[in-house]
Amino acid sequence: MAYIDTETTGLRAGWHEVIELAIIIEIDGQVNEQYHWRIKPQNLERADEIALKINGYSHANWRDAVNFVSIAHQVKEILTGCIVIGHNPIFDIEFLNESFFVVGVPGIKPKSIDTRVLMFEHLCWLNSTSLDTARKFFGWPTDGAHTAMIDAQQCRQLYHKLCRCTAIQRFWWYCMYILRHS
């Protein structure tokens, strides 16, 4: 299992680009390896200022960032054969595949699990399936939210919380939700 998160300069793959990537490899329920890169944007003039503000981009924070071409083969090797789990992993995979294309590396077509679907299934009474909604509902810290590693870690936490939850747990969460909002 590979829990992934990307931070990007906007929402349009092929126009905007990945500027941060985190991958957490899990084997038998245990974290085996963690990877984190800040990636130098090549087309910063195309960036959406709101996206840069949300993910905390600054020239100073990205001073030691790598070029994607220097990690492309490693990223592909890490993800090959993994089930990719993310909060909207199709977004992350699409951006990664665009990044692979730009540097001449064949893309990936992994099987994926979307934790937004798990939220919809188990927490359907919530107004949103965003990771911020999950953080608020479960009382998780928001420090570092919208950075790739924190989001990947909390996505993993969400997956394990929801993956095999019981009807009793769902009922308890619903009751807690009702109590908080009454």
Mean pLDDT of 143-169: 96
Instruction: Tell me 82's DSSP state.
Output: P
What's the full length of the chain, in residues? Answer: 182
pLDDT band at 164 (very low <50, low <70, confident <90, very high): confident
Rounded CA-CA distance 127/42 in Å is 37
Residue 59, pLDDT > 90, answer yes
Cα–Cα nearest to 27, from 96, 77, 81, 107: 81
Cα–Cα nearest to 91, from 155, 158, 145: 155
Residue 16, pLDDT > 90, answer yes
- CATH number for 2-180 (one of 3.40.50.300, 3.20.20.10, 3.30.420.10, 3.40.50.10380): it is 3.30.420.10
Rounded CA-CA distance 61/39 in Å is 11
Residue 182, pLDDT > 90, answer no
CB neighbour class for 34 (10 Å; exposed up to 12, middle 13-18, buried from 19): middle
Mean pLDDT of 135-164: 96
pLDDT band at 148 (very low <50, low <70, confident <90, very high): very high
Q: What DSSP string runs through 113-128?
A: EEHHHHHHHH-TTSS-
Mean pLDDT of 152-167: 96
Mean pLDDT of 127-155: 96
> Residue 176 phi/psi, 5° resolution?
-65, -40
List the chain domain ranges.
2-180
> Residue 74 phi/psi, 5° resolution?
-65, -45
Rounded CA-CA distance 2/115 in Å is 13
Q: What is the pLDDT of residue 181?
A: 85
Q: What is the pLDDT of residue 144?
A: 92
Beta carbons of 92 and 8 less than 8 angstroms apart: no
Give pLDDT tens digits for 18-51.
999 999 999 999 999 999 999 999 999 999 999 9
pTM over 0.85: yes
Give pLDDT tens digits for 78-128.
999 999 999 999 999 999 999 999 999 999 999 999 999 999 999 999 999
Beta carbons of 93 and 111 less than 8 angstroms apart: no
